[in-house]
Amino acid sequence: MESVWRSTVSLPKFESLQGDVSTDVLIIGGGITGILCAYFLQERGIDYLLVEGNEICCGVTGNTTAKITVQHGLTYGKLLKHAGLEKTKLYLEANRKAVQKYAELAADISCDFEEKTAYVYSMDNRKKLEKEAEAYRLLGLDDAIVEPAELPFSTAGAVRMRQQAQFHPLKFLAKIAEGLNICEHTFVTQLMPGRALTDKGRINYQKVIFATHYPVDNKHGCYFIKLYQHRSYVTAWEQAAHMDGMYVDEAKKGMSFRSFDHLLLVGGGGHRTGKKGGNWKELREFVQRYYPNAVERYHWAAQDCMPLDDAPYIGEYSPALPDCYVATGFRKWGITSAMVSATLLADMVQGIENPYAEVFRPARSVFTGQLLCNSAESICNLLTPTVPRCPHLGCALKWNRTEHSWDCPCHGSRFTEDGRLLDNPANGDAKWRR
């Protein structure tokens, strides 16, 4: 199971840490967020070190659908309702600048960057689209509801946003990572103020950025109740239709579409990690129905951190942890959010005031309906008297028959059958590993 991105590029390799070192800024995590943070800090002449426990881009970054877009589902109507007009405008502006920055950087990189139109469609609820279109109007966006002719099924319409983009993320990052100060195969085993212990040596630091997808410190910030993880699935097909636009269903269990080269990428089948879902079976049945001559070439799965509201958590890790910063909760829009995170955090570690900081502040209100769902899920699984259990916070693990893994419904850690760690926030293998 390997994504089309991993199968079509070779990434640069980096040595592991050799002994004790000191740095001004320690970046933990070698996905797109960490790499972009390192890139911008190096550009500004800031002393930094990025450490990755495995190899760069070996996690979620390599499993994206690689849409670069400001259109994050039916987001803007919801943001206007609970965040207000000014903060919603700032959210839009921050993400617009992120899209523009990708276009600027990709101009000198061969990474299949293409400007595209993005669409959020609904199968049966035009009123939702009308509310989003009204939010667009209030924000000064001129796109409207259209009929998506490229989709092979009828819809209630789609909200359109022009001048978005798509690319090959690992071709892009392979170039961006060249010359950066990165240590691979360097796993942080313990973190304390000003010092990180790894399996290869000690790192003394002034400031630290957690770019680990899911934050790994459980003592601060309450991320274990502010986040849950969601799995989704992708298949890539030859001899299927070519789609010029990028499409996503507004429904949680809907499908997404985009083309890459001669392939049609179909995503969906999603579910909360540790629960049941449609997975690849649902996608294959769909393609067989609408594109009977299509041939599957790749299939893979992704995992996304879902926040309590509609914005990521980017900024100070916790008021109790000065000089510690985090980027997480990207929902399903990690490419754009990674760029927002990197530009914002590069300012924050230098003490530069950023106009978007308040929009993404991790310490904002947690009182939402999703908080109750997360809490109930955790309590239920903590009280479930089964083994094996997750070493993160002790929740009962569920067997994933499709991917042959043990998955945690509470916080999304995943393990192989014999207990080897696949996805965090667990910070190591499970105890039953032989």
Question: pLDDT digits over 44-62, tens only?
Answer: 999 999 999 999 999 999 9
Q: Supply 12's token pair.
A: 């640069």
Q: Which CATH class is domain 112-164+227-306?
A: alpha beta
Residue 152 preceded by cis peptide, ω within 30: no
294 three-state secondary structure? coil
Both tokens of 16, joined, read 């592991």
Per DSSP, the three-state class of 183 is strand
DSSP code string of 191-260: EETTEEEESS-EEEEEEEEE-SSS----SSTTHHHH-EEEEEEEEEEESS---SSEEEESSTT--EEEEE
Query: Residue 326 belongs to what H/E stretch?
Result: strand 324-328
What is the reported pLDDT for 377? 79
Average pLDDT over residues 390-408: 91
Domain with CATH 3.50.50.60 in the chain: 4-64+171-225+309-360
Q: Which residue, 326, 132, 319, 81, is CA-closest to 227?
A: 326
pLDDT at 387: 74
What percentage of the chain reaches a pLDDT higher than 90?
A: 84
CB 327, CB 341: distance < 8 Å: yes
Q: What is the mean pLDDT of residues 156-180?
A: 97
Is residue 371 scored above 80 in pLDDT?
A: no
pLDDT at 141 over 60: yes
In the structure encoding, which two tokens stand for residue 79, read together? 């943001």
Residues 100-109: contacts with CB under 8 Å, at least 24 apart: 101/339, 101/343, 102/68, 102/165, 102/167, 102/172, 102/335, 102/339, 103/165, 105/172, 105/176, 106/167, 106/172, 109/171, 109/172, 109/175, 109/176
Asked if 241 contacts 150 with a C-beta cutoff of 8 angstroms, the reply is yes
The answer to whether residues 277 and 252 touch, using CB atoms and an 8 Å cutoff, is: no
Residue 434's pLDDT is what? 46
Whole-angstrom distance, CA of residue 253 vs CA of residue 249:
8
pLDDT at 432 (0 to 100): 66
Using 50, 70 and 90 to split pLDDT, how confident is the model at 378? confident
> Would you say residue 143 has pLDDT above 90?
no
Quote the CA–CA distance of 65 and 300 in Å, as a whole number: 10
- Residue pair 40/343 in contact by the 8 Å Cβ criterion: yes
Q: How confident is the model over 391-406, as a mean pLDDT?
A: 91
CATH of domain 4-64+171-225+309-360: 3.50.50.60
Predicted confidence (pLDDT) at residue 279 exceeds the cutoff of 80: yes
CA atoms of 95 and 104, how far apart (whole Å): 14
What's the average model confidence in pLDDT over 215-222?
A: 88
Q: For CATH 3.30.9.10, list the domain ranges present in the chain.
A: 112-164+227-306
d(CA 426, CA 220): 15
Q: Is the pLDDT at 86 greater than 80, yes or no?
A: yes
What is the mean pLDDT of the segment spanning 386-398? Answer: 86
Query: Where does CATH 2.102.10.10 sit in the chain?
Result: 369-420
For 280, counting Cβ atoms within 10 Å of its Cβ (0-12 exposed, 13-18 middle, 19+ buried), the class is buried
The CA–CA distances, whole Å, from 13 to 7, 41, 174, 179, 257 equal 16, 20, 10, 11, 32
Per-residue pLDDT of 308-358, as tens digits, reads 998 999 999 999 998 999 999 999 999 999 999 999 999 999 999 999 999
Rounded CA-CA distance 11/22 in Å is: 26
pLDDT value of position 374: 79
Q: Is domain 369-420 in CATH 1.10.340.70, yes or no?
A: no
The mean of the pLDDT values for the chain is 94
Instruction: Give the global pTM.
Output: 0.95
Whether the per-residue pLDDT at 142 is higher than 90: the answer is no
Percent of the chain residues topping a pLDDT of 70? 99
Q: Write the CA distances from 141 to 131, 135, 161, integer angstroms.
A: 13, 9, 8
Q: How far apart are CA 38 and CA 182, in angstroms?
A: 9
